[in-house]
Structure 1
């Protein structure tokens, strides 16, 4: 399905839930809606599904205006973060329910095939109350996939699962949806999850669509500081910087040789946490720091430190034992820095330099 939102917005009295936005998710692919809580992800998905009607703009499905068409008359599947299954039905009947409504043939074979794909074929005779949280969510996903809808909406479907189950199901979802033809919309608050799922990402913030495109492109070339903040975990390190010939200068007199587009005014420099290291490399810039907090998470250590340029977070591979107020020298490659203009728009990113033509809209 080619879904198009045409200047679609939603207001309730004086409150704006969604500012007018235009979005055409890539058909037959996964689009991730990325944003913090209350960014507008669920509201947008409800409009896509037909559960809510926008107060302005249109919703088009394959060129047909479906703005006022209720959800019952649309072929849409939706999975929520809660485990929503029919409690009085077995797993088999839960998965079969959309097929029975359409009067399809060969239901038993289709249900068992779908249950096998989600590794719950041994549970088809049980009821939801007899299942774990992960198993219940697999049932909900199986029912949505069995419907074979051209549009599948997944509203943070893994958020209530433990870490191991989330990792397992996330990998399976990517494989499952890669095999189908449905347009899949997946909402998440986690930048890491968007990167793992791949496909396309739409970044939302306070009801506004900030950027949409291939996930890797949006991550590596955020169009603004707002996108960079939303699509970074831990948050991108940002510094007020002054332009200098051939580059810019961070607070504390740290000089960074970095090509920038011609222009006036100071900039905001950015550096991802993973770009900081404790090992010196030729051409890298040193930042003397004092450790304020060190957190070990999985195979990485997150070091929060104070430098002359400002507070930073460094994501260091491996386990590093750092003590409070320990002096630590950090290094970064100047080519890995970002630069944003006074208006917040991206000027330079690693491997890319903005060079808009005269009069070009930014």
Structure 2
């Protein structure tokens, strides 16, 4: 049976941590909860694990009222962003710990632990002390310990957030392989993150959460291509999608003294004010383009993020190389107009480059 929640409400203070949250998670699938800090992601995972009790709502799993099932009977494993290991035990002993607690046969423990360590890329590390491992390896030990539990529900609460950028990139790819190889078809994986790239690369069903409320649910590709609202567009892009207040009039897009011919996918929109969305990667330096002023330049890995202004309009463009700019430098840019989104004045998607609309 699926893991089903209906109208979960949790409001221990003046703010909603969960605000009428509902979902239907199917066995054998990966789900990603995508949201900013304090959006309710951890609260939702703890509610599923039984560590928090909602003020209202219901959770059903395997024909049971899950909220009445004690924590120790829920068959749930959870991996935290602060990886938890036992420093006095070696790698093998750390992973074997939950099996020994269940008094599993020694030979079975050996087989299961070795299989789990192999699935997370730690084969040969069995006798290493935890202190001898890197942060990424320690997180893998924590994950391996969760996998040996063979839990029907695996919860991962921002498991990569405390790792450096390069290691996060590496583990994202490894996690996909681990989830596809190390879990049974009876398992449900729920992975929470603030990082849109992680949500898209895991390529499962995505739940966009903000201030305790579900904004959109769908396959990662659909969320990326057709964000339902301005808020979803901002949350599901890194850097956040640029939002430009513009007027569409006489087949022209007009803002800040700029006029651009309207692209085909926006030609059905009536003359009106719109919020136009454009990703940082769809803005490029172009000597024949429109002049903006540099407000800030920051190096992020192998790319440069330029924060630009023109009148009241602020935007970010990403350049796929390291470049030096000074504050107040003048640069010229152009927009990939075929990739522009239009949201109406209420913030609902009116037209996307992929044919999506919610109005």
**Given the two structures, how large is their TM-score scaled by the length of structure 1?**
0.89
Which stretch of the first structure deviates more once superposed, 44-53 or 176-185? Answer: 176-185
Q: Which residue of the other structure, out of 94, 116, 119, is the alignment partner of 1:117?
A: 119
CA distance in 1, matches of 2:152, 2:137: 24
1:171 equivalent in alignment to 2:190: no
1:325 equivalent in alignment to 2:332: no
1:191 corresponds in structure 2 to 196
Q: Is the 8 A contact 2:304 2:323 kept in 1?
A: yes
How far is 1:268 from its partner?
A: 0.9
Q: Is the 8 A contact 1:7 1:56 kept in 2?
A: yes
What is the SS of the residue equivalent to 1:277?
A: strand
Q: Which residue of the other structure, out of 236, 239, 250, is the alignment partner of 2:241?
A: 236
CA distance in 2, matches of 1:169, 1:210: 28
Q: Deviations over 1:300-336 (max 9, x none)?
A: 2211222357122111222334343333221112221
What is the SS of the residue equivalent to 2:142?
A: helix
Structure 2 gap ranges (5+): none
Aligned residues: 352
* CA RMSD, Structure 1 to Structure 2 (Å): 2.3
Q: Is the 8 A contact 2:349 2:358 kept in 1?
A: no
CA distance in 1, matches of 2:204, 2:307: 32
Q: Is the 8 A contact 2:41 2:192 kept in 1?
A: yes
CA distance in 2, matches of 1:25, 1:263: 40
Q: Deviations over 1:106-141 (max 9, x none)?
A: 211111121122233333234434433222211111
Decide whether aligned partners of structure 1 residues 143 and 353 sit closer, same or farther in structure 2, where only a CA change above 3 A counts: closer
2:228 corresponds in structure 1 to 223
1:360 corresponds in structure 2 to none
Decide whether aligned partners of structure 1 residues 178 and 351 sit closer, same or farther in structure 2, where only a CA change above 3 A counts: same
Which stretch of the first structure deviates more once superposed, 219-228 or 303-312? Answer: 303-312
1:272 corresponds in structure 2 to 279
1:52 equivalent in alignment to 2:52: yes
How far is 1:195 from its partner?
A: 2.1
How far is 1:264 from its partner?
A: 7.5
**Given the two structures, how large is their TM-score scaled by the length of structure 2?**
0.90
CA distance in 2, matches of 1:308, 1:26: 49
CA distance in 2, matches of 1:65, 1:86: 33
